[in-house]
Amino acid sequence: MNSFTDIVEEIKSIVSSDFGSKKIFDKDVADLLHITQMNFATMKKRNKVPFNELLDFCATKSISINWILYGQSPESLVEATNKYYMVKYFNDINASAGGGSMTENEEIQDLQIPIEFVYMLGGEKELKNIEAINVSGDSMEPTFSYNDIVFINRAKTDLQRGGIFTIRTDAGLFIKRVQKRIDGKIDIISDNKVYSTQTLHPSEIEVIGRVVSRFGDVD
């Protein structure tokens, strides 16, 4: 997948005709993606790809996100159309990686993913169980950051081996590292050590599914 810098240069190339002879700066790309210059600079430093904003940009320009992410030409995308798959993307649902409940609206879009990424999600047979949602908050940094898109396998709800799960509690929908204790209770752990671990009874948790990937592997 292209780096943040490569993606920025690709966007500059795409919009060059709109700017005429005027030089296109990073701040112009930030404006096109509706990202503040401060957040843009942070993403560039961390090589953090703004997937949600890219999806909106690509929709506006009527181009495939795979062109920008993987450097594929429009011609190759046409030829490879049958090699792409769709998963359900609940673009208005945010799972908090912070400390508060999020509003949920059941608006569903189809999110196109390349065949290479299907393997990261467990293969074609698992796609029927995969849903994508957004991350909000910073308690799971550096594993996840605000506005990441994460992929959940709703068939994987067993907490016995632990891992990162999307869970629902009375406080809302969360993405957290979950670990089952010997006494049967559940530790809800944030990767960002600024946040303390919570311990809940299994009856206080609804397990939505295991987080299997974002646009990359999850530990």
| The two structure tokens encoding residue 6 | 């490569």
pLDDT, the chain, mean = 81
Query: pLDDT digit string (tens) for 159-212?
Result: 988 999 999 998 888 999 999 999 999 999 999 999 999 999 999 999 999 999
Residue written as token pair 């605000």: 146
Query: pLDDT digit string (tens) for 80-128?
Result: 445 667 888 877 667 765 443 334 455 677 787 877 678 778 888 889 9
- The pTM (predicted TM-score) of the whole model is 0.61
Q: Which of the two residues, 116 and 33, has the higher pLDDT score?
A: 33
Give the pLDDT band of residue 51 (cuts 50, 70, 90): confident
Q: Which of the two residues, 214 and 168, has the higher pLDDT score?
A: 168
Are residues 62 and 76 in contact, defined by beta-carbon separation less than 8 angstroms? no
- Nearest Cα neighbor of 171 from 92, 104, 99, 105 is 99
DSSP string over the chain: ---HHHHHHHHHHHHHHHHTTSPPPHHHHHHHTT--HHHHHHHHHHT---HHHHHHHHHHHT--HHHHHH---HHHHHHTGGGEEEEEEEEEEEEESSSS--------EEEEEEHHHHHHTT-GGGGGGEEEEEEESSTTTTTS-TT-EEEEETT----TT-EEEEEEETTEEEEEEEEE-TTS-EEEE-SSTTSPPEEE-GGG-EEEEEEEEESEE--
Give the pLDDT band of residue 134 (cuts 50, 70, 90): confident
Domains of the chain: residue spans and CATH: 1-79 (1.10.260.40), 83-219 (2.10.109.10)
- Nearest Cα neighbor of 42 from 118, 112, 146, 143 is 146
Q: What average pLDDT does range 8-16 have in this prediction? A: 87
Q: What average pLDDT does range 3-24 have in this prediction? A: 86
| The two structure tokens encoding residue 23 | 């030089």
pLDDT of residue 207: 94
Q: Which of the two residues, 204 and 44, has the higher pLDDT score?
A: 204
Q: Report the percentage of the chain scoring pLDDT > 90.
A: 29
